[in-house]
Amino acid sequence: MNIVDELKWRGAINQTNDEDGLRELTTEKAISLYCGIDPTGDSMHIGHLIPFMILKRFQLAGHKPVIVIGGATGSIGDPSGKKAERTLQSMEQVQHNQEALKTQLVRLFGEDQFRLVNNYDWLSKLSLLDFLRDYGKLFNVKTMLNKEIVASRLEVGISFTEFTYQILQSIDFLTLYREQDVQLQIGGGDQWGNITAGLDLIRRVEGADAKVFALTIPLLLKSDGTKFGKSEGGNIWLDADKTTPYEFYQFWLNQDDNDVVKFLKYFTFLSEEEITALEEQVKAEPWKRAAQKRLAEEVTQFVHGDAALAQAQKITAALFSGDVKALSADEIEQGFKAFPSVTTTADKQNIVDFLTESGIEKSRRQAREDVSNGAITINGDKQDDLEAEVDPQAMFDGKFVIVRRGKKKYFLARVQ
């Protein structure tokens, strides 16, 4: 299947300037294509993952991905989709962000499997006069104002700095076309104006017959109409220090039946046959959540690797069964991040004293009742003896005590 047809089946094409021409070109030869990311933060989130999944699909189909880190454009800000100007970052912060993003991109695309370039390398060499003479004269202000990316900001205002962003991005495309034979730029749907401005610039400078293409990805919505990409706690980051692999795995595992097949098409490299089979399982046996499990496995492995996936699955199984003894202190830190947290001393205590003084139980009477009824589990062991002692240093490197009250109510007691 041609890559364009595969993307259409996956519902991953929003707009192209010439679908038939792109299909013909990608059938004839392996092309170079690019996607950009501005270093406005030190980690990508899963919203960024959407266009990079498309870039990865081209890579797996034998094409040559180029990724542009926007060291220059990231320092001034992209007006796309925002109601206010970006806060300008220091060049030191931009440099830090660039290095962090490079590490994540290498993990996704493989060492030496793609070209990583920085638009600061060419844009920083432009003088103001060169910019105005060589490029500014080729852009019509009326056309720029009509681009949705700019028009959406006119009522609240837009600085000249952000207004020029589409010119700078167009120079990126022209530079890559000239120097690395890049013929296709991909991006989110909100980037259509910027990308087509690049097409126009290349054709003005290199000739109307230049074979260059644009492809954007649809805005990804959930079945309830809300934008995909965030949890109740905010962004789902690709940085394991910001969103742990366990949290990342759980995000995908908890997707709705109405969304899971769409996300399998977008975020996994499973074949049409495999996804169709999972779709049938969703219809026939939704309680097994086979599609969600496969989605969580595939995306977590892609972003974090085999070891992190195995760890996320181990934590998930332990929390479901209540058998937490095999977890390490690091796994406890990951798995119990969202559960209620209390503090306790390192000293041994009677179980009733421990439960009440840590705040897990509101009263000694309730604590005695729950223990006597067998409702309290300490570090995976059920406790029904009112004279039992809790030793906070007995497990998990002396850092934590895991308490379960009833079947599902967990507490993480941090030892101080």
CA angle 127/132/137 to nearest 5° reads 155
Do residues 78 and 154 share a domain?
Answer: yes
Q: What pLDDT shows up at residue 230? A: 58
- Residue 129 is assigned to a structural domain of this protein: yes
- Residue 213 is assigned to a structural domain of this protein: yes
Nearest to 269 by CA among 115, 55, 113: 55
d(CA 126, CA 177) in angstroms, rounded, equals 18
**CATH number of the domain encompassing residue 34:** 3.40.50.620
Name the token pair of 64.
């040559």
Last-in-domain residue among 168, 190, 217: 217
Domain limits for position 197: 3-217
> What is the residue type of 48?
H
Cα torsion 97, 186, 206, 66: sign: positive
Q: What pLDDT shows up at residue 107? A: 92
Do residues 50 and 183 share a domain?
Answer: yes
- Residue 23 is assigned to a structural domain of this protein: yes
Q: What residues have CB less than 8 Å from 218, skipping those under 6 apart? A: 11, 12, 13, 14, 189
Do residues 257 and 236 share a domain?
Answer: yes
Binding site for ATP, residues? 230
Q: What pLDDT shows up at residue 232? A: 58
Which residues, listed in sequence order, are joined to residue 349 by a DSSP beta bridge?
390
Last-in-domain residue among 217, 246, 261: 217
Do residues 185 and 50 share a domain?
Answer: yes
**CATH number of the domain encompassing residue 364:** 3.10.290.10
What string of pLDDT tens digits covers the 416 residues of the chain?
Answer: 899 999 999 999 999 999 999 999 999 999 999 999 988 889 999 988 989 999 999 999 999 999 999 888 877 765 655 555 666 677 788 889 989 999 999 999 988 889 999 999 999 999 999 999 999 999 988 888 887 777 777 777 778 888 888 899 999 999 999 999 999 999 988 889 889 999 999 999 999 999 999 999 998 888 887 878 655 567 899 999 999 999 999 999 999 999 999 999 999 999 999 999 999 999 999 999 999 999 999 999 999 999 999 999 999 999 888 889 889 999 999 999 888 999 999 999 999 999 999 999 999 999 999 999 999 999 999 999 999 999 999 999 999 999 999 888 999 999 98
- Residue 164 is assigned to a structural domain of this protein: yes
Do residues 235 and 213 share a domain?
Answer: no
Element (H, E) at 198: helix 192-206
Do residues 69 and 170 share a domain?
Answer: yes
Q: What residues have CB less than 8 Å from 376, skipping those under 6 apart? A: 351, 355, 370, 382, 383, 384, 403, 404, 405
Count of structural domains, the chain: 3
Binding site for L-tyrosine, residues? 34, 165, 169
Last-in-domain residue among 217, 241, 257: 217
Site of tokens 């020029």: 164
Do residues 50 and 147 share a domain?
Answer: yes
Do residues 183 and 245 share a domain?
Answer: no
d(CA 407, CA 3) in angstroms, rounded, equals 48
Name the token pair of 357.
């003084």
Binding site, residues? 34, 165, 169, 230
d(CA 226, CA 232) in angstroms, rounded, equals 13
**CATH number of the domain encompassing residue 305:** 1.10.240.10
- Residue 393 is assigned to a structural domain of this protein: yes
Give Dmax (Cα) for the chain: 87
- Residue 272 is assigned to a structural domain of this protein: yes
Q: What pLDDT shows up at residue 87? A: 67
- Residue 332 is assigned to a structural domain of this protein: no
Do residues 317 and 264 share a domain?
Answer: yes
Do residues 81 and 174 share a domain?
Answer: yes
- Residue 194 is assigned to a structural domain of this protein: yes
Do residues 96 and 144 share a domain?
Answer: yes
Do residues 34 and 142 share a domain?
Answer: yes
